[in-house]
Amino acid sequence: MMPSIPKLPAKSYVLCILLIVVCEISTSEVPRPRGVPLSHNPLYNPAKDFVCLDNSLSIPFSQVNDDYCDCPDASDEPGTSACIHGTFFCMNVGHTSTYISSSRVNDGICDCCDGTDEYVKGKCANNCQELGQSAMKEAARQSELLKAGKQIRASMCEMGIKLKAEKKDKLVIFAAQKIEAEKIMREKEQIKKNIEELESAALEQYRQIEEENKRIKQEEENKKNRQEAEDTFVRFDSNKDGIVEVSELQSLHTFDRDRNGEVTVEEAKYFLNSKDSMSLEDFVVEAWPAMKPFLMLDEGLYKPPQPAGVGEVEEVPINGEEPTTEAEFEEAADEEGVNEEEDEEDEEHPEEEEEHEETNPEVTYDEETQNLIEKATAARSEFTEADQSVRDIQSEITKIEEYLNKDFGPDEAFAPLEGECFDYMDYEYIYRLCPFDKATQQQKSGSSDTRLGSWSKWSNQNYDAMLYDRGQSCWNGPQRSTTVAISCGSENKLTSVSEPNRCEYHFTFETPAACYKATTEGIKDIHDEL
Amino acid sequence: MARAMRLFAFALLVAIAASVDRNNFKTCDQSSFCRRLRKVEQDNSKYILNLDTLQVSAHSLEADLLNPDATFKFTLTALAGNTFRLFADEIKPLHKRYKVVGALDGEPKLTKLEVLERTKQEVVIKCGDSKVKLIAEPFKIEFYNKDTVVAVVNARGLFTIEHLRVKPQEQADGNEELPKEDPGAWEENFKSHHDSKPRGPEALAMDVTFPGAIRAYGLPEHADHLALRSTGPGATDPYRLYNLDVFEYELETTMAIYGAVPVLYAHGPENTVGVFWHNSAETWVDISNSKDTNVVSSIVNLVSGKKDENKVDAHFMSESGVLDVFVMLGPKPADVVKQYAALTGVAPLPQYFTFGYHQCRWNYNDEDDVKNVVEKFDEGDFPLDVMWLDIEYTDGKKYFTWDPVKFSHSTVMLNNLTATGRKLVAIIDPHVKRESGYFLHEDALNNDYYVKDKDGKVFEGWCWPGSSSYPDFFDPTVVDYYSNLYSLDKFKGSTENLYIWNDMNEPSVFNGPEITMGKDMVHYGNWEHRHVHNLYGLYYTMVTMKGLQARSPNKRPFILTRAFFAGSQRYAAMWTGDNAAEWSHLAISYPMCLSVALGGISFCGADIGGFFHNPDPELLLRWYQVATWLPFFRAHAHIDTKRREPYLYGSDVQMRIRNALKLRYAHLPMWYTQFWEHSRTGEPVIRPLFYEFPEDSNVLDIDNQVLIGKSVMATAVSQHSASSASVYLPGGSEQLWYDLSDFKSYTGSGYITYPVNLDKIPVFYMGGSIVSRKDRPRRASSLMHDDPYTLYVSLDNNKSATGTLYIDDSESYEYKKKKYLYIRFNYKDNTLTNSFIDQDAKYPTLSWLERVVVLGASNNFRYATLKTPKGEDTILQVSYDSEGRSLIIRKPGVSMREKFTITLH
């Protein structure tokens, strides 16, 4: 895994050699005040008074590093904690030289790897060699990683550019197809329009005939019904006084709605529209419609349309009994209602289509009309097909345009990530990042996804952070949002998830697509003091 | 349905308009005993002291006190420090009445009294400069400082003790001879809660008049101004003392909040008198200040030339208990506060780090989060001493456990913190999750450790973990058991560098009456919760103290508490609870802490930034600047707020917060010394102006300025975009004040308009003081232990100054073995000398004297000489700043262990 030193690039060799030189220098070190960087050493001359580096004051050299701050710029105390704004230079031979704040000198904590910051208690070991080596290894590893990453990135870029190019090509094709499809659609529309005019004219006469037939039929029905009513009236009017009374109905078991073997006054009255008696005319208008289904049921002629309907008819509680059942019915009805609504929506389109095909099977058209109808039907179906085809192409175009508008970073490196998803699991949740789409969270126990944000934008010009916002709202809080910090890695991987503020998530994501910075970064700063 | 919706909408509107839900909390009118006692007829006292039964002993008087229905034994005891104790209990009570245990710091020291006069109608005794006159009928007690009457008990005849009795049988025909009782006397409902009151009415009350007083202070804790307002029937509710968890508390009200200290100070230019109402039951106190009622009569008197007598009237009312009252006769504010401290004790010296900066949030999510925050503090060069963990660190709100995933390596986390000199504080609350298998719950059930309901069943309430029960800390067995939970082998994953935050200890019960425990719950010794309610929080911290001391015998504990009572200072620091990110809440932090400090608890702070809601950067940085000058210095935030650690802001805001933190760290030796002195004298560390300037009538209502000891005075800037602040400089033309930011000097000649910008608030050194600083702020205070000192000598009008410095190992009890240095610095006649106040105390400090800054020195000094007993004279360089306001003596270099003399020439 770790590259051995001989595999290091030539530049690193030079650094190693330089480091060895430094080691030798430091063993026979040029005397310099504690905490002073080598480059500033000439400014500290023990033979002369010391002039603060900002030229504000001249002090005897004995006051340099005497643990008392004289210079406003802190330059007289490079090696002590006396000046609050001062810095201390750690040579850190074998590792990276650094400056630390003077406040960290002699505070009991080893801040410099060479231990020089803790000279009063002197309890710090020098571990610069080890750290330097591991830093070097780490830098080499990073460099390898970057190198490998860059290679993968190159192929990602290639793929990204190709994807975009393909999409662009497709766009051109689709655009052409769209023009063609629109042309066909318009033609089909014209054909449909023409034939429908003919069809409509031909059907007009049939429609008139049909209406006349309907009217006649209805009249016959009415007559028949009237006759039935009159017959029944006569049958019920047992005392033949031309009036049907409650007592007369009470003798007819048909009206025993609760099936208790007795027709009560209430039961009888129910059919007489709450009246005590009725003349023939009233009977025909008011009583007959309510009565007829019962009589038919009695005769076995009538079958209620649904079981629920039967229930209702049979069990209408006269005294408001069995309220529980009623409530249950209502609930059931409500539920059905909901379903019906949904069904309606689903069936909307088929119904519309059926409307056109509405032909009376009983009517037989003459050959010419029949022909026209068939042609019109065919034209309509062809038009619908053509129209759908235009829509389909448009939807493809929209998709491609959306894709082409997405910023996949320099050289389209991030494009291949689109459409992919990456998971990160902690002990409670599975987090998922679908780049350029969304971030989600799912409980491991398996409940549904919580949307932590939808793709919004790159957070900055460096393409190292993405923002996903407009996620699901928190209870009593804001909409969830997620920032994704992107770094170079040899594979695409969601590496951590945290929630620093409530409902604000922070993902870290490694991808070769982010490997495009200079290879030498990280090790090039070593020993700029040399 | 629509109507319901409208109602709901209306409720929402109300909720937005006022943050606190007042409906959750009782008014006096909704409390039967407050109603009853407020109705007692004035100037018609039925109480008679039977002087025939008078018995006099060396320290006390005893006599029967009668009302038409019962006889009480009354005792007056003379105590050391100009203090008298009044005590009354029923001679043959139906049930025992509760006597407070735990508030006093041991038995008060007695002193001898002398009977001056004795007749059938009155007895006069003398004790030092004080006299007490007991008047038999109607019962009345007058307290005199020399010959001036300064306090009169039962002056208005409101004194009442309801004797315990059997509930009268209700008679069908309605016996008219029985006086009509308050409907809540024998049982009482509040909202959906029922109080069965098994002992019936047992309330008590006492009025005290303070002739000559012009202000009343004390009675913390209230989110109100320092000077108490006048209350009264039909107007403002009395100040209520009943420890309650009040969600989003409101400001400038007399409503009860988390803590209760029933001590009242009546202050006038001549005398300051204190009354400590030693009672742990629910208490209400009406205050009437003649200045608020005399407006009309003073106009009349102006014409007639008659002068109104100033006075303050107080009316204490408690639901139960014996009558036990301490009257402290001062005569100056410092005297009376010290007299109070002599009764209830002082805060033992805390560890040095506790004055550093504390970073808290509900919640730091996991160990990495804690680590990252500390790293960011270090990267941004923000000093930080303590990281805090709120309730989410636990395994499902089970205290003494850690979340098995997020805090699975707590000792590693603790050790990482201590590697850079930091500490950790974790929350431990009293409610116990009722979960089978949770050792604490199992132990408590098996051993009968929980508080019971009135029927003897374990009380169950609702708190953070859901269904919870509450250990009975009044039971000594529970104290032993629970304190042992802090031992390292019990509290797995803790180390000696873990300190404790006790929250929710009012106790908070989400589904209880007024969000607390029902009054008829039963504690150890068969006392009802009503008798001991205000003590629950104090006992809880006492248990924690015991636990931490047993865990780490040679390390001083640190405990933060939300609920408190008189005496809590002996166990814990407190903070003002769940405040809000509003300018008004920043403003109230000074008056609230000043009031609590007068109540004996100096270690006070308010959540920096405000707990609820999000502060804007200006409010946040001002809060840091203002909080720098309160003892407890912690930032905290609600879980729903955005993160607000200083490193998250722009560089200018960061710079200002960093400066505030570093100024705080420079002054840590001052805070430490002040708390050392508090532990020796009982004087508050933070003081209102009237405390040091009792004769100045202009300072009576100033509570946005705070004095730290006798050396620093800070003024809170609590207005958005302030460009100036009005600062009152007390002390007259003889008193000098030095601006901390530029050393410009002022005289104490009253109000000045002080220009401010975002960089600073007005802070002054008091002329005549010497402040010891460590001007090398580092990452954490422990890393500054050996750093050298700079003395800031602020000369007074006579070109002299004095100050003290306390040094020890900062953490252990070795100081009790005289391992410390307590140094006095004196500057006089151009010479600075030191001396050791406790000459037998020694501490081998590595610290030395880095610099002396003299403010107000004349401008003709050329050098200084340093003399030590061992060495020869050393010449020291001196220099002046460009304005000539400060003289700097360069590097005396002498060890703080050594005696020295530095003379300017």
Say whether pLDDT at A154 is over 70: yes
Cβ-Cβ contacts under 8 Å for A15 (sequence gap 6 or more): A523, A526, A527
Over residues B363-385, the pLDDT tens digits come to 999 999 999 999 999 999 999 99
In chain A, what residues touch B643 (CB-CB under 8 Å)? 500-501
Question: B839 to chain A nearest CA, in Å?
Answer: 30
Range list of β-strands (E), B583-723: 604-605, 634-635, 686-687, 705-708, 712-715
Report DSSP state, residue A110: -
Radius of gyration of chain B (CA): 28
What is A412-524's CATH topology?
Answer: Cation-dependent Mannose-6-phosphate Receptor; Chain A (2.70.130)
Residues B274, B216: contact at Cβ < 8 Å?
no
Residues B635, B358: contact at Cβ < 8 Å?
yes
Say whether pLDDT at B726 is over 80: yes
* Run of H or E residues at A333: helix A323-356
Structure tokens at A1: 């895994």
Q: Which of A70, A84, A477 sits opposite B640 (nearest CB)?
A: A477
For residues A137-147, give the mean pLDDT.
Answer: 88
The active-site residue, picked from B313, B475, B578, B739, is B578
Q: How many Å apart are CA B84 and CA A24, to the nearest integer?
A: 82
Q: Which of B369, B778, B788 sits opposite A107 (nearest CB)?
A: B778
For residues B556-570, give the mean pLDDT.
Answer: 98
Determine whether the interchain pair A499/B777 forms a contact, defined as Cβ–Cβ distance below 8 Å. no
Structure tokens at A58: 């001249």
Over residues B847-857, the pLDDT tens digits come to 999 999 999 99
Q: How many Å apart are CA B303 and CA A271, to the nearest integer?
A: 97
Q: How many Å apart are CA A371 and CA A376, to the nearest integer?
A: 9
Orientation angle between helical segments A128-236 and A288-298, nearest 10 degrees: 90
Question: B770 to chain A nearest CA, in Å?
Answer: 21
Say what percent of chain B tops pLDDT 70. Answer: 95
Residues A168, A404: contact at Cβ < 8 Å?
yes
Residues A471, A453: contact at Cβ < 8 Å?
yes
Orientation angle between helical segments B439-447 and B476-484, nearest 10 degrees: 160
Over residues B107-146, the pLDDT tens digits come to 999 999 999 999 999 999 999 999 999 999 999 999 999 9
Q: How many Å apart are CA B610 and CA B777, to the nearest integer?
A: 26
Provide the 3-class DSSP secondary structure of residue B528: strand
**What is the residue type of B609?**
G
Structure tokens at B4: 């319901």
Angle, CA B451 vertex, CA B449 and CA B456 arms, to 5°: 105
Closest CA to B385 of B372, B375, B370, B374: B374
For residue B269, is the peptide bond before it cis, meaning its omega torsion is within 30 degrees of 0? no
Provide the 3-class DSSP secondary structure of residue A386: helix
Confirm or reject contact between B658 and chain A (CB < 8 A). Answer: no
In chain B, what residues touch A498 (CB-CB under 8 Å)? 365, 368-369
Query: How high is the pLDDT of residue A340?
Result: 41
In chain A, what residues touch B891 (CB-CB under 8 Å)? 66-68
User: Do the bridges between strand B358-359 and strand B821-828 make them parallel or antiparallel, or are there none, so unpaired?
Assistant: unpaired
Which residue is it, tokens 């006096």?
B28
Provide long-range contacts, Cβ within 8 A and 24+ apart, for B300-309.
B309/B211, B309/B212
Say whether pLDDT at A320 is over 80: no
Q: How many Å apart are CA B463 and CA B433, to the nearest integer?
A: 8
Least confident of A222-236, B334-348, B414-428, B564-578: A222-236
Q: What is the mean pLDDT of chain A?
A: 80
Q: pTM for the whole thing?
A: 0.83
Over residues B473-482, the pLDDT tens digits come to 999 999 999 9
Q: B31, exposed or middle or buried, with CB in 10 Å at 0-12, 13-18, 19+?
A: buried
Which residue is it, tokens 């500033």?
A40
User: Do the bridges between strand B386-389 and strand B358-359 make them parallel or antiparallel, or are there none, so unpaired?
Assistant: parallel
Query: How high is the pLDDT of residue B298?
Result: 54
Structure tokens at B323: 């009558």
Least confident of A261-270, A416-425, B205-214, B859-868: A261-270
Q: How many Å apart are CA A437 and CA A402, to the nearest integer?
A: 12
| Domain spans in chain A, listed from the N-terminal domain onward | 10-126, 412-524
Query: How high is the pLDDT of residue A521?
Result: 44
Confirm or reject contact between B419 and chain A (CB < 8 A). Answer: yes
Residues B441, B469: contact at Cβ < 8 Å?
yes
Closest CA to B359 of B676, B698, B88, B637: B637
Q: How many Å apart are CA B667 and CA B670, to the nearest integer?
A: 5
Closest CA to A413 of A150, A170, A147, A169: A150
Cβ-Cβ contacts under 8 Å for B534 (sequence gap 6 or more): B241, B242, B243, B260, B280, B281, B282, B283, B565
Residues B584, B551: contact at Cβ < 8 Å?
no
Residues B413, B493: contact at Cβ < 8 Å?
no
Residues B241, B222: contact at Cβ < 8 Å?
no
Q: How many Å apart are CA A467 and CA A407, to the nearest integer?
A: 13
Provide the 3-class DSSP secondary structure of residue B903: strand
**What is the residue type of B71?**
T
Chain B residue with minimal CA distance to A84? B776
Q: How many Å apart are CA B117 and CA B590, to the nearest integer?
A: 47
For residues B32-54, give the mean pLDDT.
Answer: 96
Determine whether the interchain pair A109/B890 forms a contact, defined as Cβ–Cβ distance below 8 Å. no
Determine whether the interchain pair A81/B777 forms a contact, defined as Cβ–Cβ distance below 8 Å. no
In chain A, what residues touch B405 (CB-CB under 8 Å)? 426-428
* Run of H or E residues at A396: helix A367-405
Residues B808, B792: contact at Cβ < 8 Å?
no
Query: How high is the pLDDT of residue B307?
Result: 59
Say whether pLDDT at A307 is over 50: no
Q: How many Å apart are CA B563 and CA B546, to the nearest integer?
A: 18
Cα dihedral sign for A80, A81, A87, A91? positive
Closest CA to B152 of B132, B181, B168: B132
Cα of B432 vs its chain's centroid, Å: 27
Radius of gyration of chain A (CA): 47
Say whether pLDDT at A322 is over 70: no
Query: How high is the pLDDT of residue A90?
Result: 95
Say what percent of chain B tops pLDDT 90. Answer: 92
- Strand-by-strand arrangement of the B461-463 sheet: B432-433, B466-469, B461-463
Query: How high is the pLDDT of residue A19?
Result: 37
Structure tokens at B510: 């989400």
Q: How far apart are the first and last CA of chain A?
A: 31
Q: How many Å apart are CA B468 and CA A426, to the nearest integer?
A: 29
Q: How many CB pairs under 8 A join A and B?
A: 55
More confident residue, A16 or A293: A293
Query: How high is the pLDDT of residue B741?
Result: 96
Question: A313 to chain B nearest CA, in Å?
Answer: 32
Q: What is the mean pLDDT of chain B?
A: 94
Chain A residue with minimal CA distance to B778? A103
Say whether pLDDT at A315 is over 80: no
Give one DSSP letter per residue of A400-421, joined into a string. Answer: HHHHHHS---GGGTTGGGTT--
Structure tokens at A333: 């009805």
Say whether pLDDT at A291 is over 70: yes
- Strand-by-strand arrangement of the B705-708 sheet: B686-687, B705-708, B712-715, B763-766, B724-739, B745-755
Which residue is it, tokens 């992919």?
A420
Closest CA to A486 of A389, A379, A413, A419: A413
> What are residue A439's DSSP bridge partners?
A433, A453
In chain B, what residues touch A100 (CB-CB under 8 Å)? none
Q: How many Å apart are CA B270 and CA A402, to the nearest integer?
A: 84
Instruction: Mark whether B381 is an active-site residue.
Output: no
